[in-house]
Structure 1
Amino acid sequence: MDEVLLINASPRPDASVGYQLANELVDVLRIRRPNLIVTRRDLGRVALAPLGDSYADALTRRTPDTDPIFTLSESLIGELERSDALLIATPMHNFTLPAALKLWIDHVVRIGRTFAATPDGKVGLLADRPVYVIVSSGGFHRGARARQPDFLTVYLRHVLSTIGLFDVQFVYLEGLVAGESAVNAEYEAARQRLSLEPLFAGLAPA
């Protein structure tokens, strides 16, 4: 493994438990791979430009990838193509993913570039690689404690598979508004879960 892409979608990364865990995972990888390149895309601190009518027109006309209208899209896709693994730390906002992460998706999911439209549906054009998504939420959306739906997981799994990324694992940090002890318990449970993954086998118990 030579390069990891870390996407942070929290609007307050310094206080994000999910982003803290993602950075811990990066530290573990660096212990075994000192020359590892980590590309960080902080969507909370540096907002991406929205898609406008010129971009939509370019897609419709199948404009060449080298056109300046695709400069940002090409940069983001390039980061993804170079990575051997993708880490996404994201909160759950209103039952789904935050707008900042959706905009990143809209830039990288591009017809003729990261997926092909065929008579049988969309086919991903990117090589598969491990993807780990750390999802933070104030409430509960799984199991007996669930009090809200989860539209994030099914959407993100589907849209990533559209561009060829099928090896997607989700790790959840739920009930984070319940106080420090609850946050610590969720964090440790997530660490234990991730320590079973071959990629993060060096993640030591707290």
Structure 2
Amino acid sequence: MSEMVAFRQGTSMPSRETILRYVVETVNQITELEPALHLLPWSGVNSAIYEQRFAQCYDEGLCAAQTSAPNVPQGILPSTDWAQGIGLLCFAAGYMSAGERPLTHNQLCDFVKQAAVGLSPIEGEAASGFSTVRSIALPVFRRLQRDGHASRILLLQTLLHLVAWKSASQYARQQAQRLLWMGGILG
């Protein structure tokens, strides 16, 4: 998710509106996949509600930078894991934008990891600085994007890699790896 800003060419310091547009586009793309997968923890997303919540996280990041106190927005702590992660990335983007620091995926993820230290409701990917995203999903996504594949193919093939290496189910891992050996979505 953090890569949504960094991989857009020509946007060294994107505006608040640009960042939020990318966030909403990403959530909408993931939501499009849900009916086929039935794996995600929601049956649909009211993007207006989440757009407002993520905008608040970005704005709180701007305010936190002015006070030099990167306190995580309390509104995202009771959220689902995916909303927490996106909210924290928006908070990091606001905080870093206020200091005119470049928004690269590594800097955003490292900031989230540091901000999550000591916050008990934040765990998993966000607490690790999105290590799975950075080590598995992002390299696959970038390679496919560089090769010019459509966004649906990018998402499905990347998801297949995540299932192949990080699924809690051994059967799902084995089947996803088998599909990848046959070319995955592209085969």
Question: Could you tell me the TM-score, scaled by structure 2's length?
Answer: 0.40
| Bigger strand share | 1
Point out the structure with max Rg over C-alpha.
Answer: 1
| Bigger helix share | 2
Question: Could you tell me the TM-score, scaled by structure 1's length?
Answer: 0.37
